[in-house]
Structures are given as C-alpha cells and as structure tokens.
Amino acid sequence: MSAALQFLLQGFCFYVFIYFQLDPENTGFIAVENFTSLVEHHELQLDPSKLDMLLALVQSNEEGQVCYQELIELMSSKRSSSFRRAIANGRRTLQREILLDETGLGLYKRFVRYVAYEILPCETDRRWYFHQNRLCPPPVFIAIVTIVQIIVFMCYGIMLNKWVLQTYQPDFMKSPLVYHPGHRAQVWRFFSYMFMHVGLEQLGFNALLQLMIGVPLEMVHGILRISLLYMAGVLAGSLTVSITDMRAPVVGGSGGVYALCSAHLANVVMNWAGMRCPYKLLRMILALVCMSSEVGRAVWLRFSPPLPSSGPQPSFMAHLSGAVVGISMGLLILRSYEESLQKQCSWWVIVFSFITFLLFAIFWNIFAYELLGVQIPPPP
C-alpha cells in the first residue's frame, strides 16, 4: 500500500472515530477537552503537519468547542495553502483574542474589524482576515462602477434637463448604452445598460446598496470573485429580459446589485448562528422590504406608466434574475472564503448551468423573435 493511500485511510479512520465517539449526539461540535485528549494520545499515525494544525485549531478556539465541519475543511484541501499555514503556525500567526476585545486600533483597522463581523460567520475566518488584511489591491471595482454610473446619469440629466423618469424622453432611449430588443445584435448593450438608470431614485437605491454591501464583500472576497458575481447578474438580467419580456428595454444596474444583495442575505441566513453583525434580524427585514419595494416600483413602471411613452418601459425581470444568480453562484462564492472554487464540484455545476443558460439565450435571440413573430417596437 502506498504511503499516500495509507495516510488517506488513517485520516478517514480518524474522522470516523471523532464523529462517532466525540459527537454521539450529532451536534456538529466537539468539546475542546475531549478533542485535545484525543489528539495528544491517539494511536493513529497522522501527518505531523496535520497534527500541528489540529492542536492549533484547538488552541485558537475560545468557545470551548470545535466545529466538526471546520476540522474537515482544515484537514482537507478545501482551504487555501496560506490559510492552512496560518492555522499550523497557531498563536504565532493566528491570534487567539476575540477581535471585539482588541483595543488601540486605528480607524482603518476598526473598519476592517467591522467588515469582518459583517461578512464572515466564523471567528477563525474573522481573525484570519483581520490580521492578514492588506489594502492592496484596494476594493476598486464597486467604487469605479458606482462613479461611472453617477457620471453617466449626471450627463444625461443635464442633457435632457430631467432627473426622474428619464426613460420617457426619446433621446434617453437613443443612448448606445441602453439595451433595446431592436438593437440586440449590438452585444455590448447586454452589459452597458447597467450604467443607465430610470431616474435619481433608482440610481440612489442601487448606488447605496452597492457601496454598503458590495465594498465590504469585495474587501473580503477579492475583486475577481465579486466582479464576476456582479457581471454575471448584469448579463443574466439582460438575457432573461430578452427571453421573458421580449419587447422591453432594460436600464439600471439592478441585476448586479440584486446578485450581491441576495448572495449576502442568503449567506447570513445560512450562517445565522455564526454571524455577529448587530441588529441582523431588523436589518434583514429592512433590506427585504427595500428590495421588494424596488421590484414593485419597477413592475408598476413597466405595466402602468404614469406618463405617455412611445414604447414599452424597462423590464423588471433583471431584478429577479440577478437574485437567482446571487442565491446560486453568489452564495457558493461567499461560503468559500479562502477556499478554491475550482476544487468544488458544486462550482462546476453552477458554471455549467450558467453556460447552458447563456447558449440557450444566444440561440433564442437569434431565432425566437422571427419564429414567434414578436412585434418589436422600432428602435429609437
């Protein structure tokens, strides 16, 4: 038997022993005293580096119990190598003190601590993020998107001399950024519509949520993952409208915003006991009310426009498809802090599903409009 296979079998036996002997009630947690005694006196020949990781995990725990799932993640390859090295180094790298007990912090470090408690459900993850956080690269994606959206809105507001319900102005719909079914051959419109907004109320709502939720998420999970999630929500929004509301245009960054918000809210619900953000229930209810109100407003503008218009008003389906992207792709991203997505089967299932949807939408946009005889309003 090879050494690698032997270690694998020994590790499996170790997990099984822990699960059935130290957690007979299937609570998911193991008492620190029992776990320490097992690690120090067990007869299985485990990798010495993994033994160090186990002891460091126990030493860094302040709640008197070890999470079985956290143990599995640390001992397997799910966690990044840098995270495992920090655990193996124990107190030398990963501080034991609860972050809320640390004093003498500067303004930026206090903000980092606030972000850690807002986003991460595990104290080990929070301490790791806090002590390893660097301002390079800075969270610039959400900030740049928001600034560009404000600049574009200001330009059109000055040009049209109108700051609310801009979509009722014919010149607004002539913008090369707006998605219009008559211009769907211009591929960039499936993305660029996120820079246009119906009015000041939609821009303010989206910008506020982007900055309040998107920036902390980008600080913790990085620019690549959060930009991927945001843009996936934007693309899914325009493609969904082209399939389900074929005569309607689309404006606003709601697809990306709802992808971020839905992913974060779903992550909070899935890790409710571990989240330490203050007033989380009240904030959850407030966020759901605001998001539902925005969807209701979009539905009202779509089907009961308050002013005469030359064609259909922007669709609300981008909001809903963005939420679906957030609950599926986004939730997996947020639950995989310091873990490799490429090594998770569920990640590839989601990627395959999104690519399948993308290919279906492309064929739909090429053939369905003519086959179904959809009367598209003339493009402005």
Report pLDDT digits (tens) over 314-354: 999 999 999 999 999 999 999 888 888 888 899 999 999 99
91 and 226 share one domain: no
CATH number at residue 225: 1.20.1540.10
Residue 135 covered by a domain: no
Which of 79, 95, 111 is the C-terminal boundary of a domain? 95
156 and 278 in a single domain? The answer is: yes
Q: Are residues 334 and 278 in the same domain?
A: yes
Question: Looking at 175, 254, 321, 328, which residue is catalytic?
Answer: 254
- The residue range of the domain holding 32 is 1-95
| Higher pLDDT pick, 61 / 204 | 204
Lookup: tokens for 270:
């899935």
Question: 38: domain CATH number?
Answer: 1.10.238
Q: Do residues 159 and 280 share a domain? A: yes
Q: For residue 303, what pLDDT is reported?
A: 87
Across the chain, mean pLDDT equals 82
| Active site (annotated) includes residue 319 | yes
Predicted confidence band of residue 106 (pLDDT cuts 50, 70, 90): confident
In a domain, 287, yes or no: yes
162, 233: one domain: yes
Q: Which residues pair with 79 in a beta bridge?
A: 339
pLDDT at 19 over 60: no
Instruction: Band the pLDDT of 39: cuts 50, 70, 90.
Output: low
Cα 170 from Cα 307, distance rounded (Å): 13
Domain match, 170 and 26 both: no
pTM, two decimal places:
0.80
Catalytic residue among 319, 321, 328, 336: 319
DSSP type of residue 339: B
**83 and 149 assigned to the same domain:** no
Residue 379 in any domain: the answer is: no
pLDDT in tens, 238-287: 999 999 999 999 999 999 999 999 999 999 998 888 888 878 888 889 98
Instruction: Among 95, 123, 154, give the residue marking a domain's end.
Output: 95
SS3 label, residue 340: coil
User: Looking at the structure, do residues 195 and 87 belong to the same domain, yes or no?
Assistant: no
In sequence order, the 6+-apart residues with CB closer than 8 A to the CB of 80 are 338, 339, 340
Place of tokens 């907004």: 197
Residues 177 and 90 in one domain: no
179 lies in the same domain as 325? yes
Paired tokens of 221: 């999970």
| Torsion, CA 71, CA 72, CA 78, CA 83, rounded to 10 | 10
pLDDT at residue 138, as a whole number: 85
Whether residue 184 contacts residue 238, with contact meaning beta carbons closer than 8 Å, is answered with: no
Boundary of a domain, candidates 95, 121, 151:
95
Report the Cα–Cα distance between both ends of the chain, in Å, rounded.
72
Regarding whether 357 and 249 lie in a shared domain, the answer is yes
With a cut of 70, say whether residue 224 has pLDDT above it: yes
Assigned token pair, 191? 């993305």
- Look at the chain and report how many structural domains it folds into: 2
In this structure, is residue 55 part of a structural domain? yes
pLDDT reading at 130 higher than 70: yes
Is there a contact between 234 and 256 (Cβ–Cβ < 8 Å)?
yes
Distance, CA of 89 to CA of 97 (rounded, Å)? 15
Q: Which residues contact 32 (CB under 8 A, 6 or more apart)?
A: 58, 61, 64, 65, 66
Take residue 33 and report the two structure tokens written for it: 């005293």
- Residue whose pair of structure tokens reads 């389900």 in the numeric block: 244
Tell me which residue of 306, 308, 304, 202 sits closest to 250, measured CA to CA.
202
197 and 325 together in one domain: yes
Phi, psi of 46, deg, nearest 5: -90, 160
